[in-house]
Amino acid sequence: MSSATHTSFAGRLDTLTIDSGVDRGRALLVARGDLMHGCADTLARTLARLPDGVVRVDLDMRGVAFMDTAGLRFLEVLDTYGRRRRVRVAATGWSDQPRRILEMAGLDPDDPLNGPGTRREPVPSVVVLERTQQLDLLRTEVEQLRRAMVTRPVIDQARGVLMATHACSSDEAWNVLREASQLSNTKLRKVAAMVTAGAGGDGPLPSPELRRALRTAIARCLN
């Protein structure tokens, strides 16, 4: 059986799904997608459907590629379930960006609920709140990642336009965009948006400064 929740990024991030199975009193939950708003409710619904007699819950997190601070609430739900039912719970298999978030929150990324140094009281969310400076850094990093994920599609489109127009490689197109951004002192996503809009024939023309920067960047990077 499985539960799911949707993110607010209209397909740019992955829907969280949790598949579950029980064997000899051990429940294995497999999470796939991203831990964002609503993920804790998805987990709560999955846990509520587990049968009586479960003595252990293992949550496999290898399929999770992105999490923000809502992932800490997700862990709190699992921790609370274990306390109330008096069963062992674990969430393991974290990778890449989620591991970084757990580290910044002061949790063991290998096993945040049971790892060395884990404090059983208070629950993880309160531990994080005590680490005000770390939480501020955490929120900043997550916001930067969100912006990067939102702007990436237009940058990829602009690279495609340059590749088709100038018969260049993806790396060469990226270098053109970056060089034009630096030469014109314009944010990279704005340069990419103007390149993409200009390819359609009905979009606004880049400013003279940006056009000069693009010409210079193309000459430097593609010749």
How many angstroms separate the CA atoms of 136 and 151, rounded? 23
CA angle, 30 then 63 then 42, to 5°: 55
Q: How many residues does the chain have?
A: 223
How many angstroms separate the CA atoms of 106 and 138, rounded? 11
Q: What does the pLDDT read at residue 138?
A: 64
Q: What does the pLDDT read at residue 22?
A: 94
> Domain-by-domain residue ranges, the chain?
2-130, 152-222
Q: What does the pLDDT read at residue 120?
A: 47
Q: What does the pLDDT read at residue 4?
A: 47
CB 62 within 8 A of CB 141: no
CATH of domain 2-130: 3.30.750.24
What is each CA distance from 35 to 11, 75, 147, 209, in whole angstroms? 14, 10, 16, 42
The pTM score is 0.54
Q: Three-state SS for 21?
A: strand
Alpha helix (H) residue ranges in 49-131: 70-85, 96-104, 124-130
- Beta carbons within 8 Å of 126's beta carbon, 6+ residues apart: none
Q: What does the pLDDT read at residue 78?
A: 93
Buried b (16+ CB within 10 A) or exposed e, 54-78: beebebbbebbebbbbbbbbbbbbb
How many angstroms separate the CA atoms of 165 and 140, rounded? 37
Residue-wise pLDDT tens for the chain (223 aa)?
555 443 333 334 468 999 999 999 999 999 999 888 889 999 999 999 999 999 999 999 999 988 887 888 899 999 999 999 999 999 999 988 888 888 877 788 999 998 765 544 444 444 444 554 555 666 666 665 556 555 567 888 888 888 877 888 888 888 888 888 888 888 888 888 888 776 655 556 667 888 888 888 888 888 7
In the block, residue with structure tokens 């497999």: 30
